Structure 1
């Protein structure tokens, strides 16, 4: 008996909570619909009151009596696309949660709060917050205008270009070509300047009194902008995946292979998420598209952040006996090491060829290769206190 009473009381509380949410939601929606017809203030208040009273009598009391709170939500589907609105709210909420978590991780994980990777990750994470807020104000018609557009555009620039710079900053760990690194950085800068600037002009113009001039242009350029940034990130992911696959051949150890396989999978997921964003855009679901885009970029940052520690550990273990303790230091050291790694590799190959030629020359002259190791003292590779033999000196002169 007590359980039945508690269950009934819980259902009553749930019904009243859902009733309150429904009344607020429908009141705002009805007020927005009535405001579009521009009636007088008296008529607006009267119609709003009648709508709320009718909604309360038909749906709220019925759902409360039958202990079916979901009847309130189902009843609103006739007037509003509740599924789309709920999807937008869920996507924005998830993106904000991930952004706040990433910001906290930035300040708690990095001992050295500096470096290119740290600032790119931090700015990209912060950009998700104004991007979602700006489009919430625009989509639900809470505060439409230049301020909301400016919030969304500032967040979009920080989120998209920041994400590309995060991907570029970790290319140093697997790509050692200075030409590739400089070319990809130039691509990110040029795309950001051109696409963001034109997009700002069109989107701001869409909010102006002469919006009929800018709306068709913005609808076309918005798709071009999205395709451009998606191609840019796909190029970075392909370069990263290709370099990781090459490292798989050079490092047969099991821990290296598992880490690189995870990197390849993560970059493939990046490409698939970009394809999903483009699909929403070309399906005509603009509101769902912008909210889904915020969530996707927050998930990208979390995936990239999760795999970075293993990547830095793998990269440093191949060059030293101990792994770095701070990720920002590892990324910065890897960036500086990229500039002279090619030179060191060429120097090592040159020394090996010198040693091979010296030994072959000594054997060809009929000398003992062990005695001719003193020739290395001329090149700084095999120090010796004795004078080199004549045959070895001759071989050294050939080099």
Structure 2
């Protein structure tokens, strides 16, 4: 029989995040720090608005672009938080999570053979979305000595005549790295000079510590070159509601709407009504969760210091990215043994790109109690490895 599977789909590897999550689900007494999902319930007033929309029978399709009231609230939110303004009627699209927005952006913008610059380690969807859009992913390896930030020189070195899009994944999953306004200004200068576009994934924009978030779209000359992607999963603990959005130039958003129209029709109506409430009255919820995450972040950094595990200090998202190179094994092997021997699930850094090997992604979107149990088990595991190394030597 003729092969039913497209070659470009065959080369895409399954998510390394889900692999360990699925294994952990089949084991008993596992503490999982693998999935980037808030342990908070969606705040009650947001859930209540979703329930109310169902009770009122608001169960019909919305427009392809999403409820106008929600798009207007997003526009006000971004103007208030990021100092960038979008026309709700033509420059905002509501999507099924931020992941759909990434997919739509690349499919709308890329011609076959055009290159997408993807700094890694980073979210697992960027590369396969580029491949499925017939683009060519070009990896920029971020370095720990630069705190996993993209530098101007790295960007210049990666750009060719075929470069079309730069993915800017900050605050970063899996490293927790952020970019300052000054660093973004240097990147923006290159983007403008080289005439390329930016896909700015800002899903963790509300989860920054020590300093505020800057959107590259807010910098001079960048709004017309940027598709800003965000959503409700992380900031409002709304992962299962599956709601995101994309904002950008009308000529790009209109084509994304067309693809969205044929593939999805519209984002879930109930989720859209809940999101309106989140944007209107959710600032205190965000602050409460951010304080809790920051406390957990500090606890982990202190624990790593106590056990002598090297880890640069992250200032965004809810991940730490400790280095395990001293143990002479791959991230995959380390994570597998930690799961088998101590029943702690973390994600190998290699799941986020080859340059992530030698690191682990540990999520602190879990209770402090779970973190304490997991860190105790991790310390036991590390102690055995170090003791074994001394005995063998």
Q: Tell me which interval the TM-score lies in, with the shorter structure as reference length.
A: under 0.3
**Larger relative contact order (C-alpha < 8 A, sep ≥ 6)?**
2
- The structure richer in strand per residue is 2
TM-score, normalising length: structure 1: 0.22
- The structure richer in helix per residue is 1
Larger Rg: 1
TM-score, normalising length: structure 2: 0.22
